């Protein structure tokens, strides 16, 4: 017998509304089967009567159709009462929504059978954020945390026929500001509102458990949502129900996996529950079956039964093995129709965050199933300002792009929200490791008992929900909270104004929260995954961002001192979890939010979609482009050059980090994705379009890399292999002029050790050039396996703006194939950073942003619905020499 693996897994209660449930509640005798009624219909929303905005927005003072799960802002957009804040300069016009109080209502019928149940519970999987819930006029719940699940007994207030459910949502800004103004001081936050609704330095976001980025970030707008953002349902049962199924991994080695199959049970009295536990292997084959009793007592509790799998197949990160997963099935009952059946998918793997003392200090390395893995990836920001409109297809496309670019890790950064189960299930399937921050983005948190208790419950909810995903390899307490306390100007200014004892209390509060409360949540609910208190840190709350110990955020390039990108080569941390450069998105994306143009870097609409330094980021971007590439000849050239600059800079850093293995064991650049169309650090824009960096990432994160890093007049050549077996190969150096004439060639045999970086050569410019013109000569380094180049990198001896780059003629040929098209590119002279596009047509390219050498054509696969004629007509090829304004 085989069963197909289900597509998702269980959570505490079956998730509904498209979030498929693998927890199957079978029809037992009608009175014993727990039931769930989804309340997603007939919702309406309006301003709370008496809200001061009624006069200004009279239409919102009437009931409007609402979507649950959803947000007020998206309801108003659907009703035509709010303009799309992602277009033009509309962001300002939607601010009033988050400054108002709203009320949602629906009516639902309850049948007599449900009413007769011993238990009826109303469950809100997520409320955003300050919410007051009433059922038939009786107040049931006050909620104050977007990240928690709220379940309350509804039994006393339910009646037969129509029931009215009302949810009032209070503006978190309006609720907290008056209180905050009365406090002796405000805790330092993140980004001040650009709209004047909160005074500078007086940010209420610190004091509420709500996604921090919605208050505005340096890559996204301020849209303070309110709404019922997760499903609502009414659960009813008698005597007993199973509320969750987990599989804890107690021990794992090549011989055996010892698991504990656990049920979360609500029982009215003690009972013995006969059960059949079956385990199915990665191919659906049965591998273990066991009959056992779960002994339950009265109340809510967890019961477990041990199960062993012999010779388990383990889950591996992509590139290191298969993503094998097992399905555990639990059936309760004594042979007849089961009273309950639940399925849970698990991946078996060990994870260690290796922190050994070594000659560079103390390591920071992920070791999965005993294999030390260099983490290659990026930071993930939230997918949208409105979490409820993110569908699985969007998340999948982003994850697939990451995997396609040879990434193996993403960091779910702490200023957003905990992502849905489907996200982690996809990461499991794709073998992408997830570094999971708790949701603390940088603001200094309060420390009062109620706040801490609220966070404790949030952490328990979330860690328990996500605990069985093999993709999660780290839980991290916060992003930059404790490090900022020690180094940011506003924090230091506050500390100078406070008594030392008060400073110590604030610091101790953070120590307690990140050193104990969150750590405990992980130890209790996901004990086989390591915990790290803060990024960046050395594992405690002391000085962070040191090169010898812990993870490192490097921002001297771009922000801070705006150092040139070569400064990336001056730092070799143990794990670089953030560093980044901005670029403009594709012109099509710009057109979609900014209209027809013409534009310049400081056009008001482009400044409105640039959040770094209040819109001044575009100047910084131009400065970086000018510094290395000279004056762009027009705006499209600036867009193109900004992407080349970003890709070149990040490639330099990533290659340096990989070459520094094992001193460095990770590179996560900032940032993978965008949540709106803007000018940001992303490598994929909000339409899913790849920037040059995303294509380059595929090369600099490829399993085999030749890193040729030129710094201060010398080039160091390292060969990097992520393979787990030795590689016999050859490396080659060719020195060429721009017309393709080889002036010199060297070939060397080499054997690369598994999981290694090997420095094979170091040349001064004089040695490499041997008298050739540095402005018209370049070096090509290649790694060759079985006669074929598998990795390549070019070294130039001057900044691009100072090179005598030729105006190359790139010949193109587009030929239909059974699956799409092949595009062949050939050139008569060196063409750098060749970028192929098809105007307004959608087309996916197997590669882009590539250097073309004369005599070495490149063939790209193109997938598009457009016809060959249309594609040929729209085809555009740009290269560096043509985009730089200064003639060569
Ligand atoms: C980092 C992040 C974010 C921010 C990014 C770019 O340090 O943690 O707070 O968006 O820098 O400035």
Locate all alpha helices (DSSP H) within 467-528, ordered by sequence: 481-487, 489-497, 500-512, 518-525
Ligand 1 centre and the CA of 205: distance in Å?
17
Tell which one of 205, 440, 480 to mutate to probe ligand 1, the residue whose CB is within 8 A of the most ligand atoms.
480
Tell which one of 670, 678, 680 to mutate to probe ligand 1, the residue whose CB is within 8 A of the most ligand atoms.
670
Is residue 364 assigned to a domain? no
277-286 average pLDDT score: 97
What pLDDT, on a 0 to 100 scale, did the predictor assign at position 4? Answer: 36
Strands 102-110 and 844-845 come out as unpaired
Ligand 1 centre and the CA of 510: distance in Å?
20
Arithmetic mean of pLDDT over the chain:
94
The count of structural domains within the chain is 5
Q: What is the CATH number of the domain that holds 254?
A: 2.60.40.10
Q: Taking the CB of residue 691, how many other CB atoms lie within 10 A of it?
A: 26
Among residues 346, 362, 384, which one ends one of the domains? 346
Q: Taking the CB of residue 535, how many other CB atoms lie within 10 A of it?
A: 29
For residues 110, 113, 119, 125, the Cα torsion angle rounded to the nearest 10 degrees is -40
Residues 517-562: tens digit of each pLDDT? 999 999 999 999 999 999 999 998 888 999 999 999 999 999 988 9
Tell which one of 380, 413, 562 to mutate to probe ligand 1, the residue whose CB is within 8 A of the most ligand atoms.
413
Same domain, 798 and 814: no
Decide if pLDDT at 24 tops 60: no
Ligand 1 centre and the CA of 475: distance in Å?
19
pLDDT more than 90, % of the chain: 94
Ligand 1 centre and the CA of 479: distance in Å?
9
Tell which one of 442, 581, 613, 678 to mutate to probe ligand 1, the residue whose CB is within 8 A of the most ligand atoms.
442
Are residues 126 and 149 in contact, defined by beta-carbon separation less than 8 angstroms? yes
What span, in angstroms and rounded, lies between the C-alpha atoms of 316 and 432?
A: 9
Q: Which residues line ligand 1 (CB under 6 A)?
A: 217-219, 442, 479-480, 553, 559, 578, 670
What span, in angstroms and rounded, lies between the C-alpha atoms of 259 and 292?
A: 14
Nearest residue by C-alpha to atom 8 in ligand 1: 479
Residues whose CB falls within 8 Å of the CB of residue 345, separated by 6 or more in sequence, listed in order: 5, 6, 9, 22, 325, 326, 327, 328, 425, 428, 468
247-260 average pLDDT score: 96
What pLDDT, on a 0 to 100 scale, did the predictor assign at position 41? Answer: 97
- The separation between CA 178 and the C-alpha centre of its own chain, rounded to angstroms, equals 34
Same domain, 331 and 227: no
572-593 average pLDDT score: 97
Residues 680-698: tens digit of each pLDDT? 999 999 999 999 999 999 9
Ligand 1 centre and the CA of 218: distance in Å?
7
What span, in angstroms and rounded, lies between the C-alpha atoms of 476 and 498?
A: 29
Same domain, 229 and 89: yes
- DSSP secondary structure of 681-731: S-SB-TTSPBPHHHHHHHHHTSSEEEEEEEETTEEEEEEEE--SS-EEEEE
**Ligand 1 atom with least separation from CA of 219:** 10
Decide if pLDDT at 28 tops 60: no
Nearest residue by C-alpha to atom 10 in ligand 1: 218
Q: What is the DSSP letter of 375?
A: E
Are residues 173 and 204 in contact, defined by beta-carbon separation less than 8 angstroms? yes
Kindly indicate the confidence band of residue 659, based on its pLDDT and cuts at 50, 70 and 90: very high
Same domain, 278 and 299: yes
What pLDDT, on a 0 to 100 scale, did the predictor assign at position 11? Answer: 32
- DSSP secondary structure of 788-807: EEEEEEEEESS-GGGS----
φ, ψ at 884 (rounded to 5°): -80, 130
- DSSP secondary structure of 766-777: HHHHTT--TTSE
Same domain, 482 and 517: yes
Same domain, 539 and 674: yes
What pLDDT, on a 0 to 100 scale, did the predictor assign at position 334? Answer: 79
**Ligand 1 atom with least separation from CA of 381:** 10
Strands 820-827 and 240-252 come out as unpaired
Q: Is 844 helix (H, G, I), strand (E, B) or coil?
A: strand
270-284 average pLDDT score: 96
Ligand 1 centre and the CA of 826: distance in Å?
40
Decide if pLDDT at 27 tops 80: no
Same domain, 220 and 107: yes
Q: Is 294 helix (H, G, I), strand (E, B) or coil?
A: strand
In what side-by-side order are the strands of the sheet with 850-852? Answer: 850-852, 831-837, 876-878
654-677 average pLDDT score: 98
| Higher pLDDT, residue 715 or 13 | 715
**Ligand 1 atom with least separation from CA of 217:** 10
Are residues 438 and 414 in contact, defined by beta-carbon separation less than 8 angstroms? yes
Same domain, 436 and 529: yes
**Ligand 1 atom with least separation from CA of 441:** 9
Ligand 1 centre and the CA of 408: distance in Å?
21
Nearest residue by C-alpha to atom 12 in ligand 1: 218
What pLDDT, on a 0 to 100 scale, did the predictor assign at position 21? Answer: 32
718-740 average pLDDT score: 98
Is residue 7 assigned to a domain? no
What pLDDT, on a 0 to 100 scale, did the predictor assign at position 648? Answer: 98
pTM: 0.96
What pLDDT, on a 0 to 100 scale, did the predictor assign at position 12? Answer: 35
Is residue 459 assigned to a domain? yes
Ligand 1 centre and the CA of 466: distance in Å?
25
Radius of gyration of the chain (CA): 29
What span, in angstroms and rounded, lies between the C-alpha atoms of 840 and 862?
A: 15
Among residues 763, 778, 802, which one ends one of the domains? 802
Is residue 646 assigned to a domain? no
Decide if pLDDT at 9 tops 70: no
Same domain, 124 and 211: yes
Residues 109-144: tens digit of each pLDDT? 999 999 999 999 999 999 999 999 999 999 999 999
What pLDDT, on a 0 to 100 scale, did the predictor assign at position 7? Answer: 33
Same domain, 842 and 783: no
Nearest residue by C-alpha to atom 1 in ligand 1: 578
Is residue 222 assigned to a domain? yes
Decide if pLDDT at 22 tops 80: no
What span, in angstroms and rounded, lies between the C-alpha atoms of 547 and 664?
A: 10
Kindly indicate the confidence band of residue 886, based on its pLDDT and cuts at 50, 70 and 90: low
Same domain, 172 and 247: no
For residue 329, the enclosing domain spans 238-346
Residues 362-421: tens digit of each pLDDT? 999 999 999 999 999 999 999 999 999 999 999 999 999 999 999 999 999 999 999 999
861: enclosing H helix or E strand: strand 858-863
Is residue 618 assigned to a domain? no
Decide if pLDDT at 759 tops 80: yes
Ligand 1 centre and the CA of 615: distance in Å?
16
**Ligand 1 atom with least separation from CA of 480:** 8
Of 65-69, 345-349, 572-576, 613-617, give the lowest mean pLDDT range. 613-617
Q: Is 617 helix (H, G, I), strand (E, B) or coil?
A: helix
Is residue 21 assigned to a domain? no
Residues whose CB falls within 8 Å of the CB of residue 327, separated by 6 or more in sequence, listed in order: 3, 5, 6, 279, 280, 284, 343, 344, 345, 346
Is residue 409 assigned to a domain? yes
Ligand 1 centre and the CA of 526: distance in Å?
28
Among residues 233, 254, 273, which one ends one of the domains? 233
Kindly indicate the confidence band of residue 337, based on its pLDDT and cuts at 50, 70 and 90: confident
Strands 756-764 and 714-721 come out as antiparallel
Same domain, 202 and 255: no
Half-sphere exposure of 877 (CA within 13 A, CB side): 20
């Amino acid at each position: 017998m085989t069963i197909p693996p289900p597509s998702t897994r269980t959570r505490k209660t079956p998730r509904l509304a498209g979030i498929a449930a693998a927890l199957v509640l079978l029809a037992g005798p009608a009175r014993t089967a727990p039931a769930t009624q989804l309340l997603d219909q007939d919702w309406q929303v309006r301003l709370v009567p008496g809200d001061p905005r009624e006069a200004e927005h009279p239409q919102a003072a009437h009931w409007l159709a609402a979507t649950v799960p959803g947000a007020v802002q998206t309801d108003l957009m659907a009703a035509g009462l709010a303009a799309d804040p992602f277009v033009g300069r509309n962001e300002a016009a939607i601010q009033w929504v988050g400054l108002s109080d709203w009320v949602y209502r629906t009516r639902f019928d309850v049948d007599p059978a449900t009413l007769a149940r011993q238990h009826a519970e109303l469950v809100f999987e997520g409320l955003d954020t300050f919410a007051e819930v009433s059922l038939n006029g009786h107040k049931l719940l006050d909620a104050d945390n977007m990240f928690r699940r709220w379940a309350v007994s509804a039994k006393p207030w339910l009646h037969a026929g129509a029931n009215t459910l009302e949810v009032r949502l209070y503006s978190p800004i309006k609720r907290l500001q008056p209180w905050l103004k009365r406090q002796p001081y405000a805790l330092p936050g993140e980004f001040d509102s650009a709209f004047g609704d909160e005074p500078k330095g007086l940010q209420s976001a610190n004091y509420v458990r709500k996604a921090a980025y919605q208050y505005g970030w340096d890559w996204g707008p301020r849209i303070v949502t309110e709404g019922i953002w997760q499903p609502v349902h009414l659960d009813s049962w008698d005597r007993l129900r199973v509320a969750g199924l987990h599989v804890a991994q107690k021990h794992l080695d090549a011989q055996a996996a010892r698991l504990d199959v656990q049920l979360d049970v609500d029982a009215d009295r003690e009972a013995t529950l006969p059960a059949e536990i079956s385990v199915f292997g990665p191919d659906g084959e049965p591998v273990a079956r066991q009959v056992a009793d779960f002994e339950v007592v009265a109340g809510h509790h967890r019961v477990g039964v041990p199960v062993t799998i012999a010779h388990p197949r383990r889950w591996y990160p992509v590139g290191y093995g298969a993503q094998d997963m097992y399905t555990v099935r639990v059936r309760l009952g004594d042979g007849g129709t089961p009273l309950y059946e639940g399925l849970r998918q698990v991946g078996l793997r060990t994870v260690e965050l290796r922190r050994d003392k070594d000659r560079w200090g103390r390591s920071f390395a992920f070791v999965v199933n005993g294999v030390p893995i260099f983490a290659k990836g990026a930071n993930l920001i939230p997918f949208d300002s409105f979490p409820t409109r993110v569908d699985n297809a969007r998340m999948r496309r982003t994850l697939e792009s990451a995997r396609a670019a040879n990434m193996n890790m993403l960091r779910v950064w702490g200023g957003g929200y905990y992502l849905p189960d489907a996200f982690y299930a996809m990461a499991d399937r794709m073998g992408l490791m997830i570094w999971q921050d708790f949701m603390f983005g940088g603001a200094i948190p309060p420390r009062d008992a109620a706040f801490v208790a609220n966070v404790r419950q949030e952490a328990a909810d979330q860690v328990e929900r996500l605990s069985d995903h093999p993709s999660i390899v780290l839980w991290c307490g916060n992003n930059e909270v404790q490090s900022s306390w020690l180094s940011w100007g506003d924090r230091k200014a506050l500390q100078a104004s406070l008594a030392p004892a008060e400073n110590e209390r604030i610091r101790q509060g953070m120590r307690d929260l990140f050193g104990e409360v969150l750590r405990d949540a992980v130890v209790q609910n996901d004990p086989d995954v390591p915990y790290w208190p803060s990024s960046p840190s050395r594992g405690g709350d002391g000085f962070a961002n040191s090169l010898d110990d812990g993870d490192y955020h490097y921002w001297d390039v771009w922000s801070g001192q705006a150092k040139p990108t070569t400064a990336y080569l001056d730092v070799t941390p143990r794990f670089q979890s953030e560093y980044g450069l901005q670029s403009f998105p594709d012109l099509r994306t710009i057109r979609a939010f900014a209209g027809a143009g013409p534009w310049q870097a400081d056009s008001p609409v482009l400044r409105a979609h640039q959040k770094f330094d209040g819109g001044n980021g575009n100047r910084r971007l131009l400065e970086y482009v000018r510094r290395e590439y000279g004056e762009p000849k027009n705006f499209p050239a600036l867009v193109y050059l900004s992407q080349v600059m970003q890709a070149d800079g990040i490639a330099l850093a990533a290659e340096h980090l990989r070459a520094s293995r094992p001193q460095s064991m990770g590179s996560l650049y900032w940032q993978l994705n965008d949540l709106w169309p803007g000018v940001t650090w992303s490598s994929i824009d909000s339409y899913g379009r790849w920037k040059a960096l995303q294509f380059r990432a595929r090369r600099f994160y490829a399993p085999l890399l030749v890193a040729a890093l030129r710094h201060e007049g010398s080039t160091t050549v390292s060969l990097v292999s992520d393979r787990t077996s030795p590689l016999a190969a050859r490396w080659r150096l060719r020195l060429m002029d721009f017309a393709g004439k080889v002036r010199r060639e060297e070939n060397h045999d080499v054997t690369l050790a598994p999981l290694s970086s090997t420095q094979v050569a170091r040349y001064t410019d004089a040695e490499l050039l041997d008298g050739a013109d540095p402005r018209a000569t370049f070096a090509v380094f290649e790694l060759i396996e079985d006669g074929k180049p598998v990795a390549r990198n070019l070294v130039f001896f001057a900044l691009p703006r100072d090179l005598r780059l030729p105006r190359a003629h790139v010949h193109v040929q587009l030929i239909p194939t059974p699956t799409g098209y092949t595009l062949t590119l050939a050139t008569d002279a060196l063409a750098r950073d060749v970028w192929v596009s098809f105007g307004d047509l959608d087309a996916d390219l197997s590669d882009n942003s590539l250097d073309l050498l004369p005599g070495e054509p490149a063939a790209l696969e193109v997938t598009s619905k457009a016809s060959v004629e249309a594609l040929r007509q729209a085809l555009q090829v740009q290269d560096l020499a043509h985009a730089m304004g200064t003639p060569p």
